[in-house]
Amino acid sequence: MSTTKVKRRVGKYELGRTIGEGTFAKVRFARNTETGDPVAIKILDKEKLLKHKMVEQIKREIATMKLIKHPNVVRIHEVMGSKTKIYIVLEYVTGGELFDTIVNHGRMREDEARRYFQQLINAVDYCHSRGVYHRDLKPENLLLDSCGNLKVSDFGLSALSQQLKDDGLLHTTCGTPNYVAPEVLEDQGYDGAMADLWSCGVILFVLLAGYLPFEDSNLMALYKKISNAEFTFPPWTSFPAKRLLTRILDPNPITRITVQEMLEDEWFKKGYKRAEFDEKYDTTLDDVDAVFNDSEEHHVTEKKEEEPVALNAFELISMSAGLNLGNLFDSEQEFKRETRFTSKSSPKEILRKIEEAAKPLGFDIQKKNYKLRLEKVKAGRKGNLNVATEVMRRIC
């Protein structure tokens, strides 16, 4: 017989396996118990966030994702908080990272790379139109859904237009070294949109070549290559693709190609389709502030719930009276009676009905998981009447 399975619930979500883990967060598969839809829940420890002064960054990540409703960006459904945890409920994306696809299969054909790149530019351009700059674009932050469509994720290092300084530029040096734009490294201020486009160019190069354009074990040597745009195309790259990449990986952000110019590029526009979607998005951030507030009224609780023991057909047959030899050896068996029945009702409904019937008859009810013990408070001629009930779930 299988053991009882423990379920964990947060609000209306039933938590499942862990699908990702980082320094400050764990991501678990979950299911909405009201709709049955799968989601991913990013769980963060409040104490760790406070200790490492990450609260504002996490608030910014949530606020950023609430501003964006695009088919090529991972969607945020809601955010919840408990006394110790923050729960970010996200769209569940099943196809893994684009990075894994490159590692496992190597470089892509140009038409395949172009489709992913077009979706990436669609998403990034939309983010920029909403005043959001990602600042850490790389294949590890690009997910694929079940249909093979690209989804931009992880806005942990993103910046909003409100963070621009008086010169209209961003000044925080961040991102992954191999993908970061030269102007970001110079620490003189940079245009977030142009810096993101540089990273998109590095991603396109990786898709077409199967390796990075800028790589060196020495960080200073790497920065020099990036600043001078020192890279070599693999021999299989077509001329139109080379021409576009040269315009994207231009170390001067002023002369670097823009999205509008890219839409007119011969290589890029082949088979291009602009994404169609509902542009309604939530601009209120009240719930974001509420989850970081220690007010009890905004807290959700994480509950443990156990499922009934599961029995397969063979286990069910072995328990039937005709195959039970226990009364040949158990002298007390004559005082016990067993009844088994099957029902189409849920385990919870069965237990509820038993309780409803037992209470008016004067039974004391003790309940644990999917087991009930009913004991008659007043003893009869043969002593106290005890009834033990267990609900089991049959599996096919």
In sequence order, the β-bridge partners of residue 8 are 15, 304
pLDDT value at 196 more than 90: yes
* Whole-model pTM over 0.95: no
At residue 115, the pLDDT reads 96
Compare 387 and 203 and report the one with higher pLDDT. 203
Distance (Å, whole) CA 327 – CA 309: 24
Q: Phi first, then psi: what are they for 43, rounded to 5°?
A: -110, 120
CATH number of 6-92+300-306: 3.30.200.20
Lowest mean pLDDT among 116-120, 128-132, 333-337: 333-337
Q: Phi first, then psi: what are they for 387, rounded to 5°?
A: -125, 125
In our burial notation (b when 16+ CB lie closer than 10 A, e otherwise), range 349-362 reads ebbeebeeebeeee
At residue 233, the pLDDT reads 96
Tokens of 143: 């997910």
CATH number of 309-394: 3.30.310.80
At residue 163, the pLDDT reads 44
Q: Report the share of the chain in percent with pLDDT over 90.
A: 34
CATH number of 98-269: 1.10.510.10
pLDDT value at 327 more than 70: no
pLDDT value at 67 more than 80: no
- 93 CB-near residues (< 8 Å, 6+ apart): 40, 74, 143, 144, 145, 151, 153
Compare 236 and 164 and report the one with higher pLDDT. 236
Could you tell me how far CA 6 lies from the centroid of its own chain? 22
Q: Is residue 330 among the annotated active site residues?
A: no
At residue 25, the pLDDT reads 79
Question: 181 — alpha (psi -120 to 50), left (phi > 0) or beta?
Answer: beta
| Residue 331 host element (H or E) | none
Q: Beta strand 363-368 with 6-10: parallel, antiparallel or unpaired?
A: unpaired
Instruction: Report pLDDT digits (tens) over 223-241.
Output: 999 999 999 999 999 999 9
Distance (Å, whole) CA 179 – CA 198: 8
Instruction: Report pLDDT digits (tens) over 83-117.
Output: 888 888 989 998 888 988 898 889 999 999 999 99
At residue 14, the pLDDT reads 93
pLDDT value at 207 more than 90: yes
Tokens of 104: 């496992």
Q: Beta strand 309-311 with 392-394: parallel, antiparallel or unpaired?
A: parallel
Average pLDDT, the chain: 79
Position 317 confidence tier, pLDDT thresholds 50, 70, 90 = low
- 316 CB-near residues (< 8 Å, 6+ apart): 394
The answer to whether the beta carbons of residues 185 and 227 sit under 8 Å apart is yes
pLDDT, mean of residues 289-294: 66
Instruction: Report pLDDT digits (tens) over 331-381.
Output: 444 455 677 777 878 777 888 888 888 878 777 887 766 777 777 766 554
Tokens of 371: 């087991």
At residue 51, the pLDDT reads 81
- Active-site residue, selected from the candidate residues 125, 136, 154, 250: 136
Q: Phi first, then psi: what are they for 374, rounded to 5°?
A: -110, 125
At residue 212, the pLDDT reads 94
Distance (Å, whole) CA 311 – CA 180: 56
List the domain boundaries for the chain: 6-92+300-306, 98-269, 309-394
At residue 170, the pLDDT reads 46
Q: Is 42 among the annotated ligand-binding positions? A: yes
